[in-house]
Amino acid sequence: MGSGFRTFASGEVLTSSNVQNFLMDQAVMVFAGTAARSSAIASPEEGMITYDTVTDLLEVFNGSKYKAFASMGTATTSGSILQVVSTTKTDTFTTTSTSYTDLTGLSLSITPASTSSLVLVQCQINHTVSGDIAATYQLVRGSTAIGLGDAAGSRTRATFGFSPASGIAQTVQGGFIFLDTPSTTSATTYKVQLRTNSGTLSINRTQADTDNSTNYRSISTITAFEVSA
């Protein structure tokens, strides 16, 4: 058993009893969130270990930033999945917009445990178009489009696109995987926007959508994985 808590003075020489008792009790500092930690430790020293009761993570300060290395008492390594958030869209959506517009119902919010975390976003969309048109999609973090192809003249920048040789009656599946670096511990929203150059773009339904067994309804999904750096 330890000896409770003791405040150590700057420059104080520690004895074996300090290490075996007091320090054993207070070796890991506990905070209710990163804001409380930043307020309490303005200038952290390399090697400091803290526990966040909000995210249930142990983090070590590596000299420049805090880096998560354990969750729920289990050690993690770079590339470990810390959390998964997913949204499934089961209803339909249609648009004739020639400018990017939100694909309603296909978004999610994830709160990274550490500013060093990466977020892997995976999206699968069932869609169909009327006529010989091009449908393009972009991934958006907050209000910023990310994961886009390079600018090239008047060409539309997109995360992915769909341009059949001719209009198709049934849906096809398209999508993307993108590894993002949000560099934040705030709640972060990811969503999908879409546009057409003409005609109608339909989501989760056939082109005709006639009420009979030949036609069907499908789903689209967006999933975010927080990955330790």
Q: How many domains does the chain have?
A: 2
Statement to judge: residues 25 and 94 lie in one domain: no
> What single string gives the DSSP state of each residue in the chain?
------PPPTTPPP-HHIIIIIHHHSSSEEESSHHHHHHH-SSPPTT-EEEETTTTEEEEE-SSSEEEEEETTEE--TT-EEEEEEEEE-S-EEE--SS-EEEEEEEEEE--SSTT-EEEEEEEEEEEESSS--EEEEEEETTEEESPPPP-TTPPP-SEEE--SS--SS-EEEEEEEEE----SS-EEEEEEEEESSS-EEESB-SS--SSTTS-B--EEEEEEEE--
**Residue 9 is assigned to a structural domain of this protein:** no
For residues 65 and 178, membership in a common domain is answered with no
pLDDT digits (tens, 9 = 90+) for 90-115: 999 999 999 999 999 999 999 998 88
Query: What's the pTM?
Result: 0.69
Average pLDDT, the chain: 84
Tell me the pLDDT band of 166, cut-offs 50, 70 and 90.
low
State the CATH number of the domain containing residue 24.
Answer: 3.40.1620
User: What's the CATH code of the domain at 127?
Assistant: 2.60.120.1340
Report if residue 146 sits inside a domain. Answer: yes
